[in-house]
């Protein structure tokens, strides 16, 4: 329930600066990634390489890049979709609407299929990637937040410190990863992306991305994306938290965005200056 509280606030007519303050306070509340105290986890910053248009009505819950296209899963009851989006223009090329009883969550690409989670319905949806036709479904016992693929398995988050490893054919759970930062459990694991053998995870409701070892579950690094939205992006807009990571393995490009954000960013991860 807590996850959606900020989301509901963002949908009301609240000045953007108020939302920014709420997001900043929420970021400071995450003890494992945001505290400036003693830590052994390396901290990274970012450089914006390119900026692309992003639909400001997209309540982004999942993001995948494949062969020049973005696939995006969006949330909210009555507004949840699965979209194929042109990277350069942000134009929606194809779109599927979920049943109004479902709150769409993370998405993953596995071979020729797209997999989409739902929040509290315990229902996952499977689509043919080419025509985005729903071809199957599956059940799970937890909430659904984020999902990604390492090429042989699906990795799913539920908002806790646990990542669930799923067989991509049967969707049964075949393992778990307990995520820790400096030896402490890291809660709020949200949208996921598999990048160069590591799991990148948005940490709800902050401006941090955790870089996680899939073998040990240890946080190997943390990316601070505070300030990536400029003041002009905030003027008169309703926006929610950072959420959405996509990776182009062929060109080594990393993309990030957020819920209701007007922009999608290609970034380069850099060591953070002291």
Where do the structural domains in the chain lie, given as residue ranges? 2-271
CB atoms within 10 A of CB 46: 20
Query: Residue 105 has what pLDDT?
Result: 98
Residue 48: what pLDDT? 98
CA distance 95 to 263: 19
The reported pLDDT for the residue numbered 31 is 43
DSSP state of 10: H
How far apart are alpha carbons 243 and 209 in whole angstroms?
9
List, for residues 78-128, the tens digit of each pLDDT value: 999 999 999 999 999 999 999 999 999 999 999 999 999 999 999 999 999
State percent of the chain over pLDDT 90.
80
33: confidence class by pLDDT, cuts 50, 70, 90: low
More confident: 45 or 4: 45
Q: Facing residues of 257 across strands?
A: none
**Residue-wise burial string across 180-189, b where 16 or more C-beta atoms lie within 10 A, e elsewhere:** bbbeeebebb
Token representation of residue 175: 């393992």
Report the percentage of the chain scoring pLDDT > 70.
84
Looking at every residue in the chain, the average pLDDT score rounds to 89
- 109 - beta bridge partners? 114
Tokens encoding 220: 């190997």
119/233 Cα distance (integer angstroms): 28
| 264 vs 7: which has the higher pLDDT | 264
End-to-end CA distance of the chain: 37
pLDDT at position 8: 40
Residue 101 burial (10 A CB sphere; 0-12, 13-18, 19+): exposed
Q: Class for domain 2-271, per CATH?
A: mainly beta
Tokens for 209, please give them: 């991305």
Give the sheet arrangement for strand 69-74, strand by strand: 60-66, 69-74, 81-86, 92-97
Non-local CB neighbours of 182 within 8 Å, separated by 6+ positions: 32, 39, 40, 41, 219
Q: How confident is the model at residue 25 (pLDDT cuts 50, 70, 90)?
A: very low
Least confident of 33-37, 160-164, 176-180: 33-37
Find the mean pLDDT for residues 202-230.
Answer: 96
Given this model, what pLDDT does residue 34 score? 58
- pLDDT computed for residue 26 by the predictor: 42
Q: Helix (H, G, I), strand (E, B), or coil: what is residue 160?
A: coil
Looking at residue 172, its pLDDT comes to 98
Answer whether residue 182 shows pLDDT above 80: yes
Contact 47, 197 (CB under 8 A): no
CA distance 237 to 13: 9
pLDDT at residue 39, as a whole number: 74
10 confidence band (pLDDT: 50, 70, 90): very low
Give CA–CA dist 95/152, Å, rounded: 27
- 156 has a pLDDT exceeding 60: yes
Q: What are the tens digits of pLDDT across the range 244-271?
A: 999 999 999 999 999 999 999 999 999 8
């Amino acid at each position: 329930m807590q996850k959606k509280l900020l989301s509901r606030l963002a949908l009301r007519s609240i000045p953007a600066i108020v939302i920014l303050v709420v997001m900043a306070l929420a970021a400071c509340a995450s003890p494992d990634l945001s505290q400036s105290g003693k830590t052994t986890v390396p901290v990274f910053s970012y450089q914006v390489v390119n900026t692309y248009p992003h639909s400001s009505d997209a309540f982004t819950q999942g993001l995948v890049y494949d062969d020049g296209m973005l696939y995006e899963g969006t949330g909210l009851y009555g507004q949840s979709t699965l979209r194929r989006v042109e990277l350069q223009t942000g134009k929606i090329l194809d779109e599927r609407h979920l049943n109004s009883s479902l709150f769409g969550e993370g998405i993953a690409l596995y071979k020729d299929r797209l997999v989409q989670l739902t929040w509290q319905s315990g229902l996952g949806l499977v689509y043919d990637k080419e025509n985005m036709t729903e071809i199957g479904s599956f059940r799970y016992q937890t909430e659904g937040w984020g999902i990604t693929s390492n090429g042989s398995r699906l990795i799913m988050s539920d908002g806790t410190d646990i990542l669930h490893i799923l067989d991509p054919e049967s969707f049964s759970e075949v393992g778990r990863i307990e995520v820790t930062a400096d030896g402490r459990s890291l809660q709020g694991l949200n949208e996921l992306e598999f990048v160069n053998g590591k799991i990148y995870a948005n940490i709800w409701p902050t401006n941090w991305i955790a870089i996680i070892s899939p073998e040990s579950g240890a946080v190997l690094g943390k990316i601070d994306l505070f300030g990536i939205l400029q003041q002009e992006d905030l003027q008169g807009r309703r926006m929610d938290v950072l959420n959405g990571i996509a990776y182009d393995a062929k060109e080594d490009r990393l993309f990030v965005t957020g819920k209701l954000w007007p922009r999608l960013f290609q970034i380069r991860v850099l060591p953070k200056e002291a």
